[in-house]
Amino acid sequence: MARKVLIAGNWKMNLNHLEAIALVQKIAFALPEKYYAKVDVTVLPPFTDIRSVQTLTDGEKLSLTYGAQDVSPHESGAYTGDVSGAMLAKLGCSYVVVGHSERREYHAETDELVNKKVRAALKHGITPILCVGEKLEVREAGEHIQHTTTQLIEGLKGLKTEQVANVVVAYEPVWAIGTGKVATPADAEEVCKAIRETLREKYGDEIAGGVRVLYGGSAKANNVGDLVACENVDGALVGGASLDGEEFTKLCALAAGGPLP
């Protein structure tokens, strides 16, 4: 089954709402509409920027979509600082990042919590981008496949098969995030293939063939072509390079198969 390439720009804790508008305008201006036939492009700004990005994308009828970087596992109530799936859905979010390694590391998010967040997103019609991936010591011990597929299985635990069809998985080796050390296409393909095989064993051919598996970790315009050329890599979750309009536009165009706009 053909899977459309997805490029997701995770801005992390960068850019205020005015800077967000400027960046989205830059991407919209620089990336002609025809590229969207080959690549889905989404941006994942901080919560405080989402309303501004929504106003711009709705007003200009942009093909670019947007989402959030986290979602509460709860529906509503006394959860100071949390933002619910219903709130994100009301803002028109298409995607939400769940289980990013930075949240697992700095906010002690467990697989169990990540699983609840995946469910919260799906309940409100938002596609979770479920992040999985190993730290350097796990890779050096040769346990990266086992580690990553366990995170995958736990993150999807209890979901119905048809719900899994609405999930995006992002393989992000922690040692490649923000370090400039991109995984080789062979490294990325090895783990993305194992992710797809795990999906096949648990949910069957149709689901495994349709779920998009992204690579994340120092993805840039100069390496994205080789990454998406891998059979089981369907796009990228991009951090640093998504903050630079020119670089991100190039990256999206090359992920679409080029040429540069």
Ligand X SMILES: O=C[C@H](O)COP(=O)(O)O
**Contacting positions for ligand X (CB under 6 A):** 10, 100, 172, 177-178, 216-219, 237-241
Find the Cα–Cα–Cα–Cα dihedral 34, 69, 191, 41, rounded to 10°.
0
Rounded least distance, CB 129 to ligand X, Å: 9
**For residue 113, which of 127, 135, 128, 134 has the smallest C-alpha distance?**
128
- Report the alpha-carbon distance of residue 37 to residue 58 in Å, rounded: 19
- Active-site hit among 102, 109, 134, 172: 172
Contact 242, 12 (CB under 8 A): no
Rounded least distance, CB 177 to ligand X, Å: 4
Q: Rounded to an integer, what is the distance from CA 5 to the centroid of its chain?
A: 12
Q: Which is nearer to ligand X, 73 or 133 (CB)?
A: 133
- Lookup: tokens for 243: 């903050």
DSSP 50-78: HHHHHHHHHHTT-S-EEEES---SSSSSS
Q: Which is nearer to ligand X, 85 or 216 (CB)?
A: 216
Q: Is 105 a catalytic residue?
A: no
125 has binding-site annotation = no
For residue 142, what is the DSSP state? T
Report residue 67: phi and psi, to 5°: -160, -160
Q: Is 109 a catalytic residue?
A: no
Rounded least distance, CB 43 to ligand X, Å: 12
Catalogue the E-assigned strands of the chain. 5-10, 39-44, 65-68, 95-98, 127-132, 168-171, 213-216, 235-238
- List residues bridging with 236 in a β-sheet: 7, 215
101 has binding-site annotation = no
175 has binding-site annotation = no
Q: Which is nearer to ligand X, 134 or 172 (CB)?
A: 172
Residue nearest to ligand X (CB): 239
10 has binding-site annotation = yes
178 has binding-site annotation = yes
Looking at residue 211, its amino acid is V
Rounded least distance, CB 152 to ligand X, Å: 17
- Active-site hit among 100, 102, 109, 124: 100
123 has binding-site annotation = no
Rounded least distance, CB 123 to ligand X, Å: 23
**For residue 134, which of 121, 147, 125 has the smallest C-alpha distance?**
147
**From the annotation, which residues make up the binding site?**
10-12, 178, 218, 239-240
Catalytic positions are: 100, 172
